[in-house]
């Protein structure tokens, strides 16, 4: 059987690659590679050789043109590999091959600005949603309750019946759509995988601080129609073990953190379908 392989892309301002790689290993991937974007551009590393792509948190290009916008433009229009192939073609081939992509925080911002999410009808290069400045006007670093839609097609949230508890740390996490029709379709097709909620996970929360950024319909994460591409503002890689919890010295907690289920589901999917 082929080994399950995950790749974590770093460079140009990302800062969560070590945590994401550890989460992939803990989740069950046989091999995990942290690759600088320059290695993809040179052709030294190719996305074709992996099953699971991680786009991590950080501050791509310093967020100077807005969160991840410069990188999105670069990857869609300018990035060419050493072989002369546009890097976006590798992304498209990766998706067409039925593989998995998870974008967290800055990675989520990158996915929506490239157009990979929500990716209606297989169009992964048309932007229809965005993530912009928090309503509170400042960076948020706090833990949030997230209600999960069990009807979502997301591969990553399989088995989550109510919700999970994860940290957020961002200044531009407010989810918006380009039209009411886009929002209606996201909701109707159960693509809004995770929503900010109260501690009972019983309803979406629009009030601050439960909703830390003012996202429309309290949306914290979405997936595409296949469920194989997902992005979220909270950080699952930052809670895969109980020692990452802020109260781990004061409470008896399960060994596995709430975020680990996303990586375990990804590994199980890859092993059962792609190797």
Q: Check 17, 19, 172, 237 and give the catalytic one.
A: 237
Whether this prediction's pTM lies above 0.85 is answered by yes
Active site residue 105: yes
Worst-scoring range by mean pLDDT, 76-85, 132-141, 210-219? Answer: 76-85
pLDDT of residue 170: 97
For the chain, give the percent of residues with pLDDT over 70: 100
Sign of the C-alpha dihedral computed for residues 216, 103, 274 and 1 taken in this order: negative
Backbone angles phi and psi of 167, in degrees to 5? -85, 150
Q: Kind of pairing, strands 174-177 and 129-132?
A: antiparallel
DSSP state of 243: G
Sorted by where each starts, the structural domains of the chain and their CATH numbers stand as 5-273 (3.40.50.880)
Mean per-residue pLDDT, 100-115: 98
Q: Please, what is the average pLDDT of the chain?
A: 96
Cα 93 to Cα 26, 109, 222, 244, distances in angstroms: 27, 21, 21, 36
List the structure tokens of 258: 């709430």
Q: Retrieve residue 90's tokens.
A: 């590798």
**16, 105, 148, 223: the active-site residue:** 105
pLDDT at residue 1 in the model? 75
19 part of the active site = no
In the annotation, is 144 catalytic? Answer: no
Q: What is the pLDDT of residues 204-253, one digit of tens each?
A: 999 999 999 999 999 999 999 999 999 999 999 999 999 999 999 999 99
Contact call for residues 51 and 23 (beta carbons, < 8 A): no
Q: Encoding tokens for residue 210?
A: 């439960």
Q: How far is CA 201 from CA 101, 151, 191, 197, in A?
A: 26, 15, 18, 6
């Amino acid at each position: 059987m082929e080994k399950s392989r995950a790749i974590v892309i770093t460079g140009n301002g990302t800062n969560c690659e070590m945590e994401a790689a550890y989460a992939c290993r803990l989740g069950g991937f046989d091999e995990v590679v942290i690759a600088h974007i320059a290695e993809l551009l040179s052709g030294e590393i190719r996305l074709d050789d992996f099953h699971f792509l991680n786009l991590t948190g950080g501050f791509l290009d310093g967020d100077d043109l807005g969160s991840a916008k410069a990188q999105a433009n670069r990857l869609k229009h300018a990035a060419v590999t050493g072989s002369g192939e546009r890097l976006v073609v590798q992304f498209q081939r990766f998706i067409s091959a039925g593989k998995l992509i998870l974008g967290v925080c800055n990675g989520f911002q990158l996915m929506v600005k490239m157009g990979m999410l929500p990716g209606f009808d297989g169009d992964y290069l048309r932007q229809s949603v965005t993530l912009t400045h928090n309503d509170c006007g400042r960076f948020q670093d706090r833990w949030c309750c997230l209600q999960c839609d069990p009807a979502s097609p997301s591969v990553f949230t399989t088995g989550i019946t109510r919700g999970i508890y994860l940290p957020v740390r961002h200044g531009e996490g407010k989810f918006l759509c380009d039209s009411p029709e886009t929002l209606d379709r996201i909701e109707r097709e159960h693509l809004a995988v995770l929503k900010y909620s109260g501690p009972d996970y019983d309803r979406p929360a629009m009030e601050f601080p439960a909703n830390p950024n003012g996202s429309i319909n309290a949306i914290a994460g979405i997936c595409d129609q296949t469920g194989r591409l997902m992005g979220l503002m909270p950080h699952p890689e930052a809670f895969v073990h109980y020692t990452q919890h802020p109260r781990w010295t004061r409470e008896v907690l399960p060994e596995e953190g709430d975020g680990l289920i996303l990586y375990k589901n990804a590994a199980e999917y890859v092993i059962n379908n792609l190797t």
